[in-house]
Structure 1
Amino acid sequence: MTLYRERLWPSVGLLVALLLVVPACILVFQPINPTVGVIVAIALYLGSALLLIVTSPVIEVTRESLKAGRASLPIGMVGDATAYEGEDATKQRGPVLDTRAWLVIRGWIPPVVRIEVADSADPTPYWLVSSRRPDALVQAVAQARSGA
């Protein structure tokens, strides 16, 4: 049973900013052929946007496991989860980040959740994942750990 599921879609702002590819391509191809420039610009934009959408990772909590992107952790090996927003989230992604942590973070999603790994044999101390609903993710992890 799925307790929590979130796909880390690219934000609308990112897709709008990606539109800057269009005038750049047109400028590059203008001396050669303006029509080719427009065609390449549209194809490059659509391809880039599609790639961002298709490769968006999924965060999922079930009663059996926690999945973040390509990694999966049995729920028995999951420790405490803590949500961070604002300046605290920035610190978690930067100055206090452990280089051994498993990261599934996206720059267009500011809040992060730090999930401790309770397996002493695992060299990864914690997972740091982006989430648009960090409190719901923390609650789902707690619920899965308690077996409720």
Structure 2
Amino acid sequence: MQSYEERLTAPASWWTAALAAGLFCGLTALPFGTLATLGALITGGALATVAVSAYGSARIRVVAGSLVAGDARIPVTALGEARPLDRAEAVAWRTHRADPRAFMLLRSYVPTALRVEVTDPEDPTPYLYLSTRNPEKLAAALAAVRS
């Protein structure tokens, strides 16, 4: 049985933006003195870092007969065809072709994705859209667990 695990981490530019947010908070507090500036710098930087880290901590795993994507856990038996999407197809499926009922683990900094049909008749979700850097490997792991 093949397993799969991926963590969708934020790019380096987002960490630079978090640092810039901390500096901006410090500069904003500059007229209030050194202690306020230091407090705003640390607090603003920490909050921005936590936000980037939380957004960038999404994980996708295939484990124990289930697909775990972010907070969602879906049994592989409820899933149908898994279709890897290249950059152009991924953009189309997260914009004009998107269904508002779909489950989307979307990260704008990941150009490729996997679209997985949901076959459970009681689930109103038509498909899963999963941003992934390795859509072929994820599709293969799902196929291996199903067979």
Same fold (TM over 0.5): yes
Cα distance in structure 1, aligned partners of 2:131 and 2:42: 30
Aligned partner of 1:7 in structure 2 is 7
Aligned partner of 1:52 in structure 2 is 52
Amino acid at match of 1:61: V
CA shift for structure 1 position 5: 0.9
CA shift for structure 1 position 42: 2.8
CA shift for structure 1 position 75: 1.1
1:1-148 matched pairs, under 5 angstroms: 3-54=3-54, 56-146=57-147
> Which deviates further from its counterpart, 29-38 or 118-127?
29-38
* TM-score of the pair, normalised by structure 1: 0.87
> Which deviates further from its counterpart, 53-62 or 83-92?
53-62
1:39-66 deviations in whole A, cap 9, x for unaligned? Answer: 3223322333234324522211125111
Cα distance in structure 1, aligned partners of 2:65 and 2:73: 10
Cα distance in structure 1, aligned partners of 2:13 and 2:28: 24
Cα distance in structure 2, aligned partners of 1:11 and 1:98: 27
CA shift for structure 1 position 125: 0.4
Task: Assess if the C-alpha contact under 8 Å between 2:26 and 2:38 holds in 1.
Answer: yes
Runs of 4+ displaced beyond 3 Å: none
CA RMSD of aligned residues (A): 1.9
- Paired residues in the alignment total 146
